[in-house]
Amino acid sequence: MALDKATVAHIARLSRIRIDEKDLEPMAKELAQILAWIEQLDEVDTKGVEPMTSVVEVSLPQRKDEVTDGGMPEKVLANAPLARHEYFGVPKVVE
């Protein structure tokens, strides 16, 4: 795909990138090469290929969903600036 200087300038403006006038032509050639490479990828047959996040099948270790800390409100609230009835006390924000 051929890109001209005006298209590159437009892309740069949309991307909020400042490109000098003298750099527009080389950038157009570079972007055209990138787009040609992407067009090559379009030719690859990917039917029946599952999407993946890694080249290696990995499952993350999981732990049991159980409460491991609790039943000690005194320790939890020990450093609280204000504690009331085994809960954190907070200042009133609605009058």
19 lies in some domain: yes
The whole-number pLDDT of residue 91 equals 85
Nearest to 12 by CA among 39, 20, 33, 38: 20
17 lies in some domain: yes
The whole-number pLDDT of residue 73 equals 82
The whole-number pLDDT of residue 1 equals 67
d(CA 9, CA 23): 10
d(CA 55, CA 50): 11
Identify whether the C-beta of residue 31 lies closer than 8 Å to the C-beta of residue 8.
Answer: yes
| Regions of the chain with pLDDT less than 50 | none
Cα torsion angle, 81, 84, 85, 88, sign: negative
Q: What's this model's pTM, rounded to 2 decimal places?
A: 0.49
How many domains does one find in the chain?
A: 1
Query: Which structural domain, as residue segments, surrounds residue 9?
Result: 5-42
